[in-house]
Amino acid sequence: MKKAWLYTAVLCAVLLGGCGFTDTPNELMRAPSADGDQKSINQAVMQFLPPGSQLTVPLHPSEASAVTLQDLTGDGIPEVVAFFKTEKTDYEIGVLVLTQKQGNWAKLASFSGIGSELDYIAFEDLNGDKVPEMLIGLGGGENLNKELSVYSIQEGQVQELIKQPYSVMAVGVLTGTGLSDLALVLHDHNNFTSKVDIYGAKDGKLAKLTELPLDGGINGYEQAIIGKASPTKNGLFIEAGLGAHSASTELIVWEDGKLHNPLAKVDGEMDLTFKPYSLYSEDINGDGIIEIGVTTQPPGTDDLSMAEIPWVSSYFQWDEMSGLKPIEEHYQNYLMGYDFHIPAKWEGKYTITSSAQDPNSMLTRFFYYADNGKTKAELLTLQTVSAQEWVKFESMLKQKQVPYIVLKEGTKQVLVAIQPQVTPNLGRSAKQEYKAMLLTPEEIRNQYKQLSMPL
């Protein structure tokens, strides 16, 4: 998807409580494109918005904008597309399309749809005419299905190509034609049925290509993305909520001209993608292939409650021959705001404990763990300290000659990594294995990254 400039939905969600409103385009603007006149577009949008209107930011995808530039007519000159709500009703989303005429902006179209929230927007060529269509998804609130409309501009007129309900949706190359496909995943809460419909180009038009029934006995769908599932195949990754917390991932691929779920649960066998808590699929290691996330329990924590367990985020790639193969393990602590990539030399030989000493200090410890817990020794401690207490705490560390690395120093908290001060009393072979697992300050910094709070 090509955009000339973007506005940040994340900032709006944080500052405005997710309402999606702003008074002027400037409040959401990122850097404009080289061929766009920021000032004139600001003025044009505000000029043509209906009285009492406010811009509204799409909820999905995260990088979507309240205002964007798109060439919707195929003439090489981008149009301005703006999304707004009016004071008249809470159940209507407006779309404003502006075009350039003799160097000035003019209104090409203005229309609206029924919905209280702008759930999804995208601009993709779905029918193969090399001109992007407008995909606009509107919702009525939490736990309700949404409705997607796909529009094209032909001879200066906006035409609605399809209108379909969905729970979650994704756009990307799935069927192998090289063109973008549209995946609409729908869960019928009343009849306990689910399915995925695939739309794409057929004989120069946007048409439904195929569908696949899914498990209807779920709580609902949370996310869908299309991307590389293996070096040779793309896939549709669908995140489903099963119970109060539990979840699973459906992987749908295109094989022999039809949709196929290679990881489908076999009766009497465990669901390979079942997870006690949701963990969305993503390309965790940057290799271009999407990994399936599964929350796993570290050893020695069986006596803890679900909420007390320091869950490990384990990521797997689909292997066409063997199913799922492990790729990476991470400890992701949103309260402390970090992602710690578990070193490969730790895997299968470590455990984690996590506790809060007080509201301003949280402690996570990584231990060497062998002989089913009979052999245990601390590898690393990650601790948050309030900014007010940091000078005193750091002085104590220096006084006791405790090795430490400051990973993040914020206005409210400091995150510090504390290394073991002495070698524990272990057997010869265990001591050698333990020493090999210790990390250098550089390795600790490389394993750490800041974690953004999910919206």
pLDDT at position 93, please? Answer: 96
- The answer to pTM > 0.95 is no
Q: Name the E strands within 12-78.
A: 21-22, 54-56, 67-70
pLDDT tens digits, 14-59: 233 333 444 455 444 433 343 447 778 888 999 999 998 999 999 9
Give the strand pairing for 157-166 and 168-172: unpaired
Cβ–Cβ < 8 Å for 9, 22:
no
Residue whose C-alpha is closest to residue 6's, from 80, 68, 92, 49: 68
pLDDT at position 355, please? Answer: 87
| Parts of the chain with a pLDDT under 70 | 1-36, 357-359, 453-455
Q: How many Å separate Cα 311 from the centre of its chain?
A: 19
What is the CATH number that goes with domain 40-164?
Answer: 2.40.128.460
Sign for the CA dihedral angle at 414, 417, 419, 420 comes to positive
* Angstrom distance (rounded) from CA 264 to CA 280: 18
Sign for the CA dihedral angle at 394, 397, 399, 401 comes to negative
* Angstrom distance (rounded) from CA 186 to CA 309: 33
* Angstrom distance (rounded) from CA 400 to CA 418: 12
* Angstrom distance (rounded) from CA 206 to CA 164: 13
- The letter for the amino acid at 285 is N
Helix, strand or coil for residue 210?
strand
* Angstrom distance (rounded) from CA 246 to CA 106: 51
Cβ–Cβ < 8 Å for 79, 73:
yes
Would you call 181 exposed, middle or buried from its count of C-beta atoms within 10 A (0-12, 13-18, 19+)?
Answer: buried
pLDDT at position 357, please? Answer: 64
CA angle 181, 184, 190 (to 5 degrees): 165
> 151: Cβ–Cβ under 8 A, 6 or more apart, which residues?
133, 134, 136, 158, 159, 160, 161
* Angstrom distance (rounded) from CA 261 to CA 213: 10
Sign for the CA dihedral angle at 120, 121, 124, 127 comes to positive
Based on its alpha-carbon atoms, the radius of gyration of the chain, rounded to whole angstroms, reads: 26
Give the strand pairing for 205-214 and 220-228: unpaired
pLDDT at position 423, please? Answer: 87
Cα dist from 86 to 25, 27, 110, 310, 331, whole Å:
16, 18, 13, 46, 44
Which H or E element spans position 167?
none
DSSP conformation class of 343: P
* Angstrom distance (rounded) from CA 312 to CA 330: 6
φ and ψ of 409, to 5 deg:
-120, 100
* Angstrom distance (rounded) from CA 222 to CA 281: 11
Cβ–Cβ < 8 Å for 7, 71:
no
